[in-house]
Structure 1
Amino acid sequence: MTPWDIHRGHTPRTGIAEKGSGRAVTRHEIDWESLPSAADLFGELHLADQAPPPADAPAKPKESILPGLTICGIAAGAAAWLSEHYHFPIILLGLLIGLSMSFVAREPRSHRGLDFASRTCLRLGVVLLGFQVTFTQIGSLGPEPFAGLVGVMALTFFAGVIAARLAGQSSYTGILAGGATAICGASAAMALYGIIGRERLAQTQFAITLVGVSLASAVAMSLYPILAGYLQLSHQQAGFLIGASIHDVAQAIGGGYAFSEQAGSYATIVKLSRVALLAPVVVITGLAIGEPDSGAQRTLWRRLALPWFITAFFAVVLVNSLVPVPPVLGTNALALSKGLLLIAVIATAMRSRLDLLMETGLRPAIPVLAATVVSFIASLGVALLLL
C-alpha cells in the first residue's frame, strides 16, 4: 500500500493497529486531515514552480553575454583563418559561417551575447573607422572631384531605393542597399541598419543585403582594374573610378594599387572621403525616416540629436585631423574595427531565420546589383569628364 493510494481514499488491505491496543482501526476511524501529505509532493512542487516568486525573493541574475559572444569570437577566428589561407573576403565568410550557425539563436542563453555583438560591437567598430580619415585628405581631393564624388554617391543611393521599389521590396531595403553601396559596404550597411532598426527591416533581408554587397565588392576589386586598363584610363582616372565605386575600404585600396601605385594613392583618398561622408548620410537618413518608435510628440532637438556612435566618429576624425596619430595606432585601430564589425556581422547572421531566407529569395539583392551598376557608370562618367 502506497501513500498515494491512501491519499486517493483506497482502503488498506490490512488494518492499521492503534498504538497501545490490539484492535484494528477501520477506514471510517482514520483522521485523513492529520495524515502526512507526502503523496501530493509532486503536485505541490509543480504548483510552486508555477507560482510567482515572493516579493522579498532575490532576483534571478541576468544571463551573461559570454556564451553568445564566445561563439561569435570562435566563428570570427574561423572566418579570419579561411580568409587568410584562401584569399576570400572575410566579411562574406563571416556571413556564411553565421548563417550556417543560425541554430545557436535557439538557445536563450546566447541571446544577450548575440545582441551585444550585433549592436555594441558594431557601433564601436564604426567609431574606430574615424582613425582612417582626416579633413586634410578630404581637402586634397579638390572641390570639383569632391562634388563629383558626392553626386556619384547620391545617384547610387537613390538607385538602390528605386530598384527596391521596382523589385517589390520596402524602401528600407533600398536605403540599406543604396547606402552600403554608396559609402563603405558592410560598415555603412550596419550603421544604417542601426538607424532603421529590426522593427522595420528583418534581419534576414539585412543578411541578404550584406551578402550581395560583399560579393559585389569582391567581384569589383578583381574586375574594375582590368576594365580601367581596357578603357585606357589615366592613373588619376582609374584611381577615382576604383575608389568611388568599390564598396569595401580594403578592397577599394587594393584594387587601386592593382592598377598602379599612383592610382592606389588616389583611390585611397577618394575612398576615405566616402567614409568621411558616412556620418552625414546616417544623420540625414535618421532625420528622414525617424525612429521605429517615434511619435508625433517628439521635439525638434530630439530629432536632431545624433546617435552616440556617429558623434564619436566625428570626434575621432577631428582628433585624427588635429593631432598627429602614430601610424601603428591607426593600423591597430583599423584591425580592431574590422574585427568588431566581423563579430557584429556574424551575430546578425546567427539571428537570421533561414526559413524566411528561403521565402524571400534573392529579391533583396536586386537593389544592391542596381546600385553597383549605377555607381560604376556614374564614377566612370565623372572620371572622364573632370580628371
Structure 2
Amino acid sequence: MTRLPGLLLCAAATVALLALAPLTPAVSPLVLALVLGAAVGTAAGAAGRRSLAAGRRWAAFAPGTAVVARRVLRIGIVLLGLRLSVPDVLALGWRGLVVMAGTLAVTFAGTLLLGRRLGTTRDESLLVATGFAVCGAAAVSAMTGVLERGRPRETPHERAERDRALRDAVAAALALVTAYGTLAIVALPPLARLLGLDDAQAGLWIGASVQEVAQVVAAAGAVSTTALATATVAKLARVVLLAPLVAGVGTVLGRRDARAAGPRDGDAGARRPAPVPLFVAGFLAAVAVRSLGVLPEPVLAAADTVTTVLFVAAMFALGLGVDVPRLLRTGRRTLLLGGLAALLTIVTGLVLVLLLG
C-alpha cells in the first residue's frame, strides 16, 4: 500500500499549522498539531464505525502517517540534541543538577509504583512515567522505541495485539502530557509568586516540573526573563537524562523478556537487539557535536527550524491515533495516573528547589 496519501496529509497539516502559529503565540504549534490530529483521528474513527467503506478509505492514509509518526519523529529527536550543550547544562551548578535529577528519579519511580497500584499496564505506566519525568512527547517516543521491539517466542497475533495496545498507550500518554502541561502553564506562575519564590527559583521549579519545552517557555516567560533563562537551561538538563533512562529501561526489559521466554535452541548465537535505539544514540552524538562548538550559528538556527517542522508533522501524525471516545472508555486509570504524575513532579520539584535552589 502506498505511503503517499498519508505523507501528503501530514505535509498539508504541517504547512497549515505553521502558517497559523503566529496567530496563536501563547500555544505551541506542537500542541496545536496534536489537538488537530486528535480531532481528525476521532472524526475518522467515528466515520469508520458507521461505514465500512469510510474505514477502508481512512486506512489508506495509515502507511504514510505511520512513517511520519515513527521515523520523522525520531529524526527530530536526533536533531533536538543540537539544542543541548553540556557546558550550558553544567552552568546550573550542582544544586540545580540535583533538583533536575532528583525530580526525574522520584517522578519516574513514583509513577511506576502508582501505575502498579492503579492497575495500568506496564507499557502505559512506562510511557506516562517517562513523559512526565523527562520531556513529554520526545520522551514518550523514545520509550516507545524500546517497547515496540519484538519479544522472544511472540506469535504474529500476539505481536499485532501488543502493537494495537501500545498505540493506544502512546496516544494516551501524549494526550496527558499535553493536557497537564498546558494546565501547568496557567497554574505555576501565580503559584510561584504566591509561594514567594524569586525569579531563579521559579525558573528552576518550572524547568524541573513542566513537560514540553514550549510549555516551559510559556510558563517561565510569564514570570520574567530571568526565570525564562533558568527554566530553559533546566529543562534541557532534563532532556540530557533521556538517553541513560531509556538505555537502562531497555536493558532491564530485554533481560526480563529473555528470562520469561526461557532457553530455546539456537538462542546462543541469536542476535539480540541493542538496549538503546539507534535514534537515541544519534541524539547523544548531536549533543556531543553541539558541545564541541564546531557548528556555526546559522547551521544551528536552520537545524532548530527543521526540528520544529519535523515535530509538528510527527505530533499531527501521532494525534491521528487518538480516538477520544475510545480513550475515555478505556483510559480512566491512565488519566488518573497522569494527574498523579503531574502532581508528583510539581511537588517534588518545589520541595527540592526550596531545599537547594
2:291 alignment counterpart: 321
Is contact 2:3–2:61 with CA below 8 Å preserved after alignment?
A: yes
Task: Kindly indicate whether residue 173 of structure 2 is the aligned counterpart of residue 209 of structure 1.
Answer: yes
- Helix, strand or coil for the counterpart of 2:163? coil
Deviation for aligned residue 1:354: 5.4
Give matches, 1:65-214, under 5 Å.
65-86=3-24, 87-102=26-41, 103=44, 106-107=56-57, 108-197=59-148, 199=163, 201-214=165-178
Is contact 1:159–1:370 with CA below 8 Å preserved after alignment?
A: no
Deviation for aligned residue 1:81: 4.4
Query: How many Å separate the matches in 2 of 1:151 and 1:289?
Result: 23
User: What residue identity is the alignment partner of 2:211?
Assistant: H
Gaps of 5+ in 1: 1-62
Task: Kindly indicate whether residue 232 of structure 2 is the aligned counterpart of residue 262 of structure 1.
Answer: no
User: What residue identity is the alignment partner of 1:88?
Assistant: V
Is contact 1:204–1:354 with CA below 8 Å preserved after alignment?
A: no
Query: How many Å separate the matches in 1 of 2:212 and 2:269?
Result: 36
Deviation for aligned residue 1:303: 5.4
- Helix, strand or coil for the counterpart of 2:135? coil
Deviation for aligned residue 1:348: 2.7
Is contact 2:6–2:60 with CA below 8 Å preserved after alignment?
A: yes
Deviation for aligned residue 1:186: 1.2
- Helix, strand or coil for the counterpart of 2:341? helix
Which is worse superposed, 86-95 or 141-150? 86-95
Counterparts in 2 of 1:253 and 1:291: CA distance versus 1, 3 Å: farther
Which is worse superposed, 246-255 or 377-386? 246-255
Is contact 1:95–1:207 with CA below 8 Å preserved after alignment?
A: no
Deviation for aligned residue 1:301: 8.6
Counterparts in 2 of 1:365 and 1:76: CA distance versus 1, 3 Å: farther
Is contact 1:156–1:178 with CA below 8 Å preserved after alignment?
A: yes
Query: How many Å separate the matches in 1 of 2:107 and 2:65?
Result: 32
RMSD after superposition = 2.6
Deviation for aligned residue 1:324: 3.8
- Count matched residues: 325
Gaps of 5+ in 2: 45-53, 149-161
Is contact 1:195–1:291 with CA below 8 Å preserved after alignment?
A: no
Q: Choose between structure 1 and 2 for higher RCO, CA contacts under 8 A separated by at least 6 residues.
A: 2
Query: How many Å separate the matches in 2 of 1:354 and 1:250?
Result: 24
Task: Look at both structures and tell me which one has the larger radius of gyration over its CA atoms.
Answer: 1
- Helix, strand or coil for the counterpart of 1:232? coil
- Helix, strand or coil for the counterpart of 1:290? helix
Cα distance per residue 1:252-298 (max 9 Å; x no partner): 13322321222221111111101111111111121122399865537
Counterparts in 2 of 1:220 and 1:355: CA distance versus 1, 3 Å: closer
Task: Kindly indicate whether residue 2 of structure 2 is the aligned counterpart of residue 64 of structure 1.
Answer: yes
1:349 alignment counterpart: 319
1:22 alignment counterpart: none
Q: TM-score, normalised by structure 2?
A: 0.82
Q: Which has the higher helix share?
A: 2
Q: Which aligned segments of 4 or more residues in structure 1 are displaced greater than 4 angstroms?
A: 291-296, 298-301, 352-355
- The one of 269, 275, 283 equivalent to 2:247 is 283
